[in-house]
Amino acid sequence: MSVSVQMLMGTYFIGRFGSDEIKKNVLQPAIEGKKVTCICFTEDQSGSDLAGTRTTAVRDGDGWVLSGTKQWITNGPIADVATVMATTDPSAGLKGLSFFLVEDGMEGFSKGQVFHKLGTRGAPTGEIVLDAVRVDGDHHLGEETGKGLEYSTDILNMIRVMTGLAACSIADEAMKDAAAFARGRVAFGKPISRYQLIREKFGRFYAKYEAARTLLYRVACMIDEGMECRREAMAAKWFATEMCLEAVDEATRVYAGNGFCMEYEPQRFFRDARFLLSGGGTHEVLLNFLGGQMLRG
């Protein structure tokens, strides 16, 4: 998760809109691994609801002053650079959002609470606090203010594909591990891998895993071709993550009582998979949008 944030979300807008100087001082060191980046969407009351963004960016001469607190920021506790979504016009809702580049060391920039998570513990997560942080005009990342939602749609499609492929990876690893256990575990005189109900688990997994992977690759191709794919990306992320949750649950069942022990692998797959439920949009929000699209008259 840390690497994914660094190579996509934390650097995307810097590469797309950053000045030559910013690319030299920020993007190049990030590519070299000398600076850690993050992206800041989420707040305590706004995750999938970007219209609820309260972090503000106020014009100050030729620059901007940012104030607010961002939460659930992957790489936040170790970030050198943050791409921050803020509202330049709270009354405009989704049409008032813009992105800004903020750097550790700027006056008013600080790192708040570190979150101790159930899973994905290798990716540090925490708060970014902005207390009247002043940035220069070229730290506004965009062609004009108020286009943050439009820019977000592009990257959210990629985030959803990335999250879905992470789900496929976790599921595949979990079931490969469970298969090795099933071949070695003997019950009632034969390996449990020879029992039909155990084989059914792997048969169901294979079909759903291949369906998820195929759908994700289709969306990735659509992104490469510049095609509109918001609905497809949402559907792919939802399907792949639900497939993963089912797979890691079945893996713990193959292990039986051993699957409840921290000494075995299934517990980690089970914990890490839960993180995918919120990344790229909660499933309640995704399904509500998709259902609404189908029912539009």
Q: What is the per-residue pLDDT for 73?
A: 95
User: Do 6 and 136 fall into the same domain?
Assistant: yes
Domain stop point among 110, 145, 180:
145
Domain stop point among 127, 145, 163:
145
pTM for the full predicted model: 0.90
User: Do 278 and 261 fall into the same domain?
Assistant: yes
In whole angstroms, how far apart are CA 46 and each of 141, 254, 285?
A: 21, 38, 12
User: Do 131 and 11 fall into the same domain?
Assistant: yes
- For the chain, how big is the Rg over CA atoms in Å? 22
User: Do 208 and 260 fall into the same domain?
Assistant: yes
Q: Is residue 49 pLDDT above 90, yes or no? A: no
Residues 208/212/214/217 CA torsion (nearest 10 deg): -170
Q: Which structure tokens are listed for 229?
A: 């794919």
Single out the residue of 153, 167, 71, 63 nearest to residue 120, CA to CA. Answer: 167
pLDDT band at 250; cut points 50, 70, 90 = very high
Q: Which domain holds residue 49?
A: 2-145
Distance (Å, whole) CA 94 – CA 188: 61
Distance (Å, whole) CA 268 – CA 195: 26
Distance (Å, whole) CA 67 – CA 60: 13
Cα dihedral across residues 164, 168, 171, 174: positive or negative? negative
pLDDT band at 216; cut points 50, 70, 90 = very high
Q: What is the per-residue pLDDT for 225?
A: 96
What's at 260, amino acid-wise? F
User: Do 107 and 158 fall into the same domain?
Assistant: no
User: Do 125 and 155 fall into the same domain?
Assistant: no
What percent of the chain stands above pLDDT 70? 99
**SS3 sequence, 85-143?**
EEECCHHHHHHHEEEEEEECCCCCEEEEEEECCCCCCCCCEEEEEEEEEEEEHHHEECC
Q: What is the per-residue pLDDT for 280?
A: 85
DSSP class of residue 257 equals G
Q: What is the per-residue pLDDT for 297?
A: 63
Q: What is the per-residue pLDDT for 278?
A: 86
User: Do 81 and 47 fall into the same domain?
Assistant: yes
H-helix or E-strand containing 232? helix 230-255
Read off the CATH number of the domain in which 101 is found: 2.40.110.10
User: Do 202 and 256 fall into the same domain?
Assistant: yes
User: Do 164 and 246 fall into the same domain?
Assistant: yes
Q: Is residue 172 pLDDT above 70, yes or no? A: yes
User: Do 158 and 123 fall into the same domain?
Assistant: no
| Section 26-34 average pLDDT | 95
Phi and psi of 19, rounded to 5°?
-70, 170
Residues 6+ apart with CB under 8 A from 6: 30, 36, 37, 75
DSSP per residue, 239-253: HHHHHHHHHHHHHHH
Q: What is the per-residue pLDDT for 45?
A: 77
Residues 6+ apart with CB under 8 A from 179: 193, 202
Domain stop point among 145, 167, 187:
145
- In the chain, the number of structural domains is 2
User: Do 77 and 178 fall into the same domain?
Assistant: no
User: Do 177 and 275 fall into the same domain?
Assistant: yes
Instruction: Yes or no: say if 127 and 76 are a contact pair by the CB < 8 Å rule.
Output: yes
pLDDT band at 152; cut points 50, 70, 90 = confident
